[in-house]
Amino acid sequence: MELKSILATDCGSTTTKAILIEKIDGEYRLKYRGEAPTTVEAPFEDVTKGVLNAVMEIEELAGRKLLDGDNIISPQKDDSGVDIYISTSSAGGGLQMMVAGVVKSMTGESAERAALGAGSIVMDVIASNDGRLPHEKIKRIRQLRPDMILLSGGIDGGTVSHVVELAEILSAANPKPRLGQNYKLPVIYAGNKKAQDQIRNTLGELTDLDIVDNIRPVLERENLGPSRDKVHDLFMEHVMAQAPGYKKLMSWTDAPIMPTPGAVGFLIEMIAKEENISVVGVDIGGATTDIFSVFSEKFNRTVSANLGMSYSVCNVLAEAGLDNVLRWVPLDIDRKELTNRIGNKMIRPTTVPQSLEELIIEQAIAREALRLSFKQHKEFAVELKGVQTERTISDAFEQSGSGKSLVNMMDLDLLVGSGGVLSHAPRRSQSARMLVDAFQPEGITQLAVDSIFMMPQLGVLANIDKKELSDEARKAALEVFHKDCLIRLGTCIAPVGKSKPDALVLTAHLVFPDKSSRIVELHDGELIKIDAPYEPIQITLTPAKKMDVGSGMGESIETEIFGGVTGLIFDGRGRPLEVPIEKEKRLSLLEKWSKAVNEYPIK
């Protein structure tokens, strides 16, 4: 079916964002966007009000009618209405889950991966071997009021008693759902097939039990799909149905409402697959930071529930420490005054930095929030644990066992940032610097930001199931993603290895599309920015003897790279990036790096 226009909303905890996509001259493009405060809370208590307000803003901008009273006009007739309407949601605190598995690092971790992949916040992982006594586990389950529980454990045909024991603990705790007292807590069982009857006996009466295929049918393989899909279904049927106004919203949409992070994850996974690349995507919000990655075709998502730029800003300070935040601030600031300022941002989360000093502090905090979230992600995105691998003599010399991190920065092709502090930074070079400083990409890495954070809407658009719509919707999502969603910042080139201070670490020979050429010499500790638009550039990179830029120590690379709105960033500061502790030296170096990329309007 041909789609002339698509309306998509994302109902966040604070803002509802709407976008209108239209097909013009055979291609799908983002036409307008509107936003309004989310209205899940009192006094409105109806999410659709915020949706209508955001759509009304689009109506005004587009100068055409999309609403008929409190209804979205669909399908499009002449110049009124839209062909489809879809939505994602993270309002009301998103989807909060608890997961359980027999062995924490095996089925427990698989269950966590499935829940995170579906877009939920995992409140706790209960496992037979988590070191807590049964009554401690029960107490914890009773304290938490999750939206749903995912229970796994055991390979198919394996021991039954451990996973039944977990079910007995759940049953004894008799957990209550977070929203509403009048329905049973949804529990998904995705464990040993052989235990299904006993699980039914233990939990069938007490909870709203659903049984799906085992998440870990054999040790060597994860089967996350069925659990992830069930989480999405239950999110719609139970959790969302309890939130104010969602029943109405669900009746408006042409596809199920997805949890926001689930939609973003779906999109990133799809891009990595289509282009056969490794991708890291980050969404830094007010309360949480989500990181998505695809390495070696394996998708992972983590959510750092208390690392964010407003509601959780003080937690970034607590976890990173004031010194780690200050190491990015090229100003001399009173420490006590600074903590009060950050505290005030937490209690008044919607404010924006008016002065330059405030902006610099905010971006320093963002670097630390991103760094800490990525650290957590690297620890979680690992190969399956507990799998026996055949070892050869040469492997015996390597100490890496199972559970090695999948994240390899040298292999990373594309780093995409989104969330207010990255997408709305006044200068794009600021976004590029935050990404490079926090993630410390190695070798050649393309950098991009989501212009207005529309990945959630594009994710749900790409995931439409209805047969007559799915192909066209997917096409629309991809076209808009490449043309309007991503702002290509440029490429970061960072050699890694050992070098002496100020020594030459890399020589680059660049040939631009107009055949002009340039040679760049990068020294240790240096940051160089070359202006270059988003066009293919032929480059030959020759690292110093003990430096690697992707092909091994001292090995040259000839390849094609792309510029962007910021251009090419040559980063000779080494990995891991270390900022001097001594104040004078630090301030002078920060100023030098900042000037190199034209980061701030410092006189």
Partner 1 sequence: MAHAYTPGLKVLHQSDVSKNRRLPIKGEVVKNIGDNVTPEMVVAKTDLPGNVQMVKVSNLLNIGPSDIKDAMIVATGDHVEKDQVIAEMAGLFGLFKSEVKSPIDATIESISDVTGQVVLREKPIPVEVDAYMSGVVKDIIPEEGVIVETSAAFIQGIFGIGGESRGKIVIVTDNRDDEITPNHILEEHAGKIIVGGSFISLEAFRKAISLKVVGVVVGGFNYFDLESILGYTLGVAITGSEELGTSLVVTEGYGKIHMSDRTFSLLKEHENHFASINGATQIRAGVIRPEIVIPLSKDQLTQIEDKKVQEVGIGMGSFVRIIRAPYFGKIGKVKSLPSELNKMESETMVRVAEVDVNGEILLVPRSNLEMLETN
225 interacts with partner 1 by CB under 8 A = no
Q: How near is the Cβ of 209 to partner 1 at its closest, in Å? A: 16
169 interacts with partner 1 by CB under 8 A = yes
Site track for partner 1 across 3-22, x = CB under 8 A: ----------xx--------
By CB neighbour count within 10 A (0-12 exposed, 13-18 middle, 19+ buried), where does 601 fall?
A: exposed
Site track for partner 1 across 87-106, x = CB under 8 A: ----xxx-------------
d(CA 421, CA 362): 8
d(CA 496, CA 544): 10
- Which residues have C-beta within 8 Å of that of residue 108, sequence separation ≥ 6? 99, 100, 101, 102, 125, 126, 127, 130, 152
Output 159 or 538, the one with its CB closest to partner 1.
159
Among 174, 517, 556, 559, binds partner 1 (CB under 8 A): 174
339 interacts with partner 1 by CB under 8 A = yes
Q: How near is the Cβ of 178 to partner 1 at its closest, in Å? A: 11
By CB neighbour count within 10 A (0-12 exposed, 13-18 middle, 19+ buried), where does 144 fall?
A: middle
Q: What is the DSSP string of 403-432?
A: --B---TTT--EEEEESHHHHT-SSHHHHH
417-436: which residues touch partner 1 (CB under 8 A)? 424, 426-427
Q: How near is the Cβ of 139 to partner 1 at its closest, in Å? A: 7
Coil, strand, or helix at residue 328? Answer: coil
User: Sheet containing 504-511: which strands, arranged edge to edge?
Assistant: 517-523, 504-511, 536-543, 557-562
168 interacts with partner 1 by CB under 8 A = yes
Q: Could you tell me if 73 and 80 are in contact, meaning their C-beta atoms sit under 8 angstroms apart? A: yes
Secondary structure, 3-state, 90-132: CHHHCEEEEEEECCHHHHHHHHHHHHHHCCEEEEEEEECCCCC
Q: How near is the Cβ of 590 to partner 1 at its closest, in Å? A: 17
354 interacts with partner 1 by CB under 8 A = yes
d(CA 90, CA 210): 23
Q: How near is the Cβ of 36 to partner 1 at its closest, in Å? A: 7
Find how far residue 445's CA is from the centre of its chain.
Answer: 18
By CB neighbour count within 10 A (0-12 exposed, 13-18 middle, 19+ buried), where does 9 fall?
A: buried
Site track for partner 1 across 285-304, x = CB under 8 A: --x-----------------
Cα–Cα distances (Å) from 552 to 234, 427, 510, 545, 571, in that order, read 48, 34, 20, 10, 17
Q: Could you tell me if 569 and 529 are in contact, meaning their C-beta atoms sit under 8 angstroms apart? A: yes
Output 315 or 463, the one with its CB closest to partner 1.
315
517 interacts with partner 1 by CB under 8 A = no
126 interacts with partner 1 by CB under 8 A = no
Single-letter amino acid code for the residue at 413: D
Output 201 or 517, the one with its CB closest to partner 1.
201
Q: Count of residues binding partner 1 (CB under 8 A)?
A: 66
143 interacts with partner 1 by CB under 8 A = no
Output 60 or 79, the one with its CB closest to partner 1.
60
213 interacts with partner 1 by CB under 8 A = no
d(CA 215, CA 108): 10
350 interacts with partner 1 by CB under 8 A = yes
- Span from 66-74, 347-355, 534-542, 544-552 in contact with partner 1 (CB under 8 A): 347-355
Give the residue among 556, 587, 557, 592 at the shortest CA–CA distance from 573. Answer: 592
336 interacts with partner 1 by CB under 8 A = yes
Single-letter amino acid code for the residue at 7: L
Q: How near is the Cβ of 343 to partner 1 at its closest, in Å? A: 3
Among 340, 517, 556, 559, binds partner 1 (CB under 8 A): 340
> Whose structure tokens read 């054999």?
218
- Span from 348-356, 465-473, 547-555, 589-597 in contact with partner 1 (CB under 8 A): 348-356
- Which residues have C-beta within 8 Å of that of residue 127, sequence separation ≥ 6? 100, 101, 102, 103, 104, 107, 108
Q: How near is the Cβ of 258 to partner 1 at its closest, in Å? A: 18
Among 4, 341, 523, 595, binds partner 1 (CB under 8 A): 341
Structure token digits, residue 159: 């021991």
Q: Could you tell me if 100 and 152 are in contact, meaning their C-beta atoms sit under 8 angstroms apart? A: yes
40 interacts with partner 1 by CB under 8 A = yes
d(CA 27, CA 451): 19
Single-letter amino acid code for the residue at 203: L
Output 9 or 14, the one with its CB closest to partner 1.
14
Q: How near is the Cβ of 350 to partner 1 at its closest, in Å? A: 5
- Span from 17-25, 258-266, 339-347, 492-500 in contact with partner 1 (CB under 8 A): 339-347
- Span from 17-25, 160-168, 227-235, 465-473 in contact with partner 1 (CB under 8 A): 160-168
For residue 515, give the DSSP letter. Answer: S
57 interacts with partner 1 by CB under 8 A = no
Q: How near is the Cβ of 306 to partner 1 at its closest, in Å? A: 6
d(CA 33, CA 49): 17
536 interacts with partner 1 by CB under 8 A = no
302-321: which residues touch partner 1 (CB under 8 A)? 306, 311-312, 314-319
Q: Could you tell me if 517 and 510 are in contact, meaning their C-beta atoms sit under 8 angstroms apart? A: yes
Q: How near is the Cβ of 331 to partner 1 at its closest, in Å? A: 13
d(CA 127, CA 109): 10
Output 14 or 214, the one with its CB closest to partner 1.
14
211 interacts with partner 1 by CB under 8 A = no
207 interacts with partner 1 by CB under 8 A = no
Q: How near is the Cβ of 201 to partner 1 at its closest, in Å? A: 9
- Which residues have C-beta within 8 Å of that of residue 156, sequence separation ≥ 6? 192, 193, 194, 214, 217, 218
Output 208 or 383, the one with its CB closest to partner 1.
208
Among 25, 181, 388, 501, binds partner 1 (CB under 8 A): 181
Among 358, 383, 411, 591, binds partner 1 (CB under 8 A): 358
Output 162 or 529, the one with its CB closest to partner 1.
162
By the criterion CB under 8 A, which residues form the site for partner 1?
A: 13-14, 36-37, 40-41, 43-44, 91-93, 134-135, 138-139, 160-161, 164-165, 168-169, 171-174, 176, 181, 198, 202, 287, 306, 311-312, 314-319, 336-337, 339-359, 424, 426-427, 601
